[in-house]
């Protein structure tokens, strides 16, 4: 049996450990592993190569993905999906592991419904916003990158009577912002899922500044679209000169953390086993409560991730 792996959408630390484990484990199970380069675009252009151990040697510590990734508009059209399927069929590939997010899985849901192909998705996005799993590959590494940056910014903030605003990624999900604010000791956290009480927080922080607070640290999720508003609010309401740091794509890079490497290994084993057993033709590996389980891609694609209440409560505790 021939199985292949590809990366789709944004890269995330943990993809390379997953790719290495995929090749090693598929060989261990007596099957043939293939690598698909450049995501769905590479699937259409037949950038498919049988993998050897040497192709994945020494990549566990690398960020990003050695097989590269893409966002494919062509894959939205049936004629290109047919070409992609014919390419897989030409290599004898009957099962596919996809490292990606909900957009990638929706594309594969369509693909699998049209052709005889087994597919298992591994949630891989620093946004941590995929329904059915409490953890996605890349999240822990991203959080450590953010934590390190904020710790350094705080060193400067504490040396001046200033406020510092740090914008973090996360698309429309506030997970990164909330966890980062909590572990960095931030006074302000603004996320898309919750209205921020500007008046109440302004009163609290003005009192603290009057009582001797010398700086304020704010973490704002990009999906809230309120970075400029929070910046102006701190300066005008709190009365502190404010600097803005937009961390940007450094949050996707860096050496995968220990947890991301371990989770990559375990996600891959679950995915490959499901394909070899043939019990799941179109599914995603989810991780909840310390356990892995398979979810139908219909369930994943048909629902929206909701920020857990315990994380919403964390924002209130920052007050």
Q: Provide the CB-side half-sphere exposure for 74 (13 A, CA).
A: 14
* 141-252 shares the fold of 2-138+256-303: yes
Q: What is the pLDDT of residues 50-90, one digit of tens each?
A: 999 999 999 999 999 999 999 899 999 999 999 999 999 99
Q: What is the pLDDT of residues 213-257, one digit of tens each?
A: 889 999 999 999 999 999 999 999 999 999 999 999 999 999 999
Instruction: Read off the pTM.
Output: 0.94
Going from the C-alpha of 175 to that of each of 25, 168, 235, 248, 313, the distances in angstroms are: 32, 10, 26, 16, 12
Q: What is the CATH number of domain 2-138+256-303?
A: 3.40.50.450
**How do strand 162-168 and strand 93-100 relate by DSSP bridges?**
unpaired
pLDDT of residue 266: 98
Cβ atoms of 28 and 17 closer than 8 Å: no
Segment holding 143, helix H or strand E: helix 139-157
In the predicted model, residues of the chain with pLDDT beneath 50 are none
Residue with the two structure tokens 């290109």: 80
- Spot the catalytic one: 11, 24, 116, 127: 127
127 is catalytic: yes
| Average pLDDT over all residues of the chain | 94
Burial class (CB in 10 A: 0-12, 13-18, 19+), 96: buried
Of 236, 272, 257, the residue nearest 99 (C-alpha): 272
pLDDT of residue 319: 61
pLDDT of residue 279: 61
Domain ranges of the chain: 2-138+256-303, 141-252
**Which residues, 6 or more positions from 112, have their beta carbon under 8 angstroms from its beta carbon?**
118, 119, 281, 282, 297
pLDDT of residue 296: 92
Q: What is the C-alpha separation between 218 and 150, in angstroms, rounded? A: 10
Residue 167 phi, psi (nearest 5): -95, 130
pLDDT of residue 102: 85
**Which residues, 6 or more positions from 55, have their beta carbon under 8 angstroms from its beta carbon?**
23, 35, 49
Q: What is the C-alpha separation between 47 and 41, in angstroms, rounded? A: 8
Q: What is the CATH number of domain 141-252?
A: 3.40.50.460
Q: What is the C-alpha separation between 129 and 111, in angstroms, rounded? A: 22
Q: Is the dihedral of CA 103, 278, 291, 140 positive or negative?
A: negative
Going from the C-alpha of 62 to that of each of 51, 189, 192, 199, the distances in angstroms are: 18, 31, 31, 45
Do you know the residue count of the chain?
A: 319
pLDDT of residue 52: 97
């Amino acid at each position: 049996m021939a199985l292949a792996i590809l990366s789709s959408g944004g890269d995330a630390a943990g993809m390379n450990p997953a790719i290495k484990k995929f090749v090693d484990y598929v060989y261990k199970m007596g099957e043939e592993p293939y690598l698909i380069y450049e995501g769905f675009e590479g699937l259409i252009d037949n950038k498919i190569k049988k993998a050897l151990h040497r192709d994945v040697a020494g990549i566990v510590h690398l960020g990003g993905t050695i097989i590269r990734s893409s966002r494919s508009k062509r894959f939205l059209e049936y004629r290109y999906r047919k070409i992609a399927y014919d390419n897989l069929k030409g290599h004898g590939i009957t099962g596919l592991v996809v490292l990606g997010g909900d957009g990638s899985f929706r594309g594969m849901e369509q693909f699998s419904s049209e052709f005889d192909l087994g597919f298992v998705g591994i949630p891989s996005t620093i946004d941590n916003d995929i329904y059915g799993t409490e953890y996605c590959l890349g999240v822990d590494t991203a959080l450590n990158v953010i934590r390190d940056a904020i710790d350094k910014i705080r060193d400067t903030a504490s040396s001046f009577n200033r406020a510092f605003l740090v914008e973090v990624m996360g698309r429309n999900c506030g997970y990164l912002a909330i966890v980062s604010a909590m572990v960095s000791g931030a006074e302000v956290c603004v996320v898309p899922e919750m209205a921020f009480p500007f008046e109440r927080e302004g009163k609290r922080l003005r009192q603290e500044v009057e009582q001797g607070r010398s700086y304020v640290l704010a973490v704002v999720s990009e999906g809230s679209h309120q970075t400029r508003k929070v910046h102006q609010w701190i300066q005008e309401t709190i009365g502190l000169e404010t600097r803005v740091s937009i961390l940007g794509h450094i949050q996707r890079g860096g050496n995968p953390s220990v947890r991301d490497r371990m989770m990559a290994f375990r996600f891959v084993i679950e995915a490959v086993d499901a394909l070899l057993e043939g019990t799941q033709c179109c599914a995603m590996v989810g991780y909840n409560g310390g356990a892995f389980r398979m979810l139908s891609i219909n369930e994943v694609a048909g629902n929206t991730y909701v920020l857990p209440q315990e994380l919403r409560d964390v924002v209130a505790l920052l007050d």
